[in-house]
Structure 1
Amino acid sequence: MYLSKFQELKIYITNFTELSRDALHIYAGLALFFIVAFFHYRQLKSKWAIGAVLIVAVTAELFDAHDDLINYGMWHIGASLHDIINTIFWPLLIWLMARFRVWKG
């Protein structure tokens, strides 16, 4: 089975942290969102923050799709959508709440 450097990195991170891949997607999405929001004028409603999460999630799944095509001859679209949703769900929810001022009363 062919393992790209990206897949090897994911396996290393999974083994090192002993977390499931779903949990890592959630944590990675939240971490990226908060880091970009912090550096973009400390705004949770920053379009850059949610955009960065979306771009990274889709790009990572394109790498996975490439590896799926090489290893299995087909792309597991359902698994990719699952990973994208896991990555962007909480950052998107936080972004929407900040954008529409849910906390301001």
Structure 2
Amino acid sequence: MTKFVSLYSAGKRWLSDALGASEDLLHVHAGLMIFVAAALLFRHRMRSRVPIALVYFFAIGNEIMDFFGPSPSTGRLEPWLDIFNTVFWPTVLFIIARRRARAGDVNRTA
């Protein structure tokens, strides 16, 4: 298990260095990528709970991996900020999709 956690952590550092992107930016991109990929792969609309649940699952899973990783977090808020960065835009898109679906249902019955 520790070998996997170390490889995971090294892979994240390599990706950050290779792309020249901060970890915060990678969290934003990862959240959006997971959300869109889950909707496409599982053939669910963005208003479905499945894609957004997977974003939250992976965001929390990533922080668990970081907790057990070789370099501990630099502050008490860092894990929470990482989760926030990962889930914020997918959550916004999910809420918009849900509201638009509900508005469409109201317009159809009127």
Q: TM-score, normalised by structure 2?
A: 0.79
Partner residue, 1:23: 25
Alpha carbons 1:45, 1:96 under 8 Å: kept:
yes
Partner residue, 1:37: 39
Partner residue, 1:93: 92
Large movers: runs of 4+ above 2 Å: 39-42, 74-77, 102-105
Q: Tell me by how many angstroms 1:46 deviates.
A: 1.6
Partner residue, 1:59: 61
Partner residue, 1:5: 7
Higher CA-based Rg = 2
Residue-pair matches, total: 100
Alpha carbons 2:44, 2:50 under 8 Å: kept:
no
Deviations 1:38-81 (A, max 9, x none): 223351112110000000000000011112xx655x88441000
Alpha carbons 2:16, 2:22 under 8 Å: kept:
yes
CA distance in 2, matches of 1:6, 1:76: 20
Alpha carbons 1:54, 1:88 under 8 Å: kept:
yes
Unaligned runs of at least 5 residues, structure 1 = none
CA distance in 1, matches of 2:20, 2:29: 13
**Identity among equivalent pairs (%):** 27
Residues 39 and 22 of structure 1, relative CA distance in 2, 3 Å threshold: same
CA distance in 1, matches of 2:16, 2:94: 27
CA distance in 1, matches of 2:44, 2:71: 42
C-alpha root-mean-square deviation of aligned residues, in Å?
Answer: 2.3
CA distance in 1, matches of 2:26, 2:71: 23
- Residue 16 of structure 1 aligns to which amino acid in structure 2? A
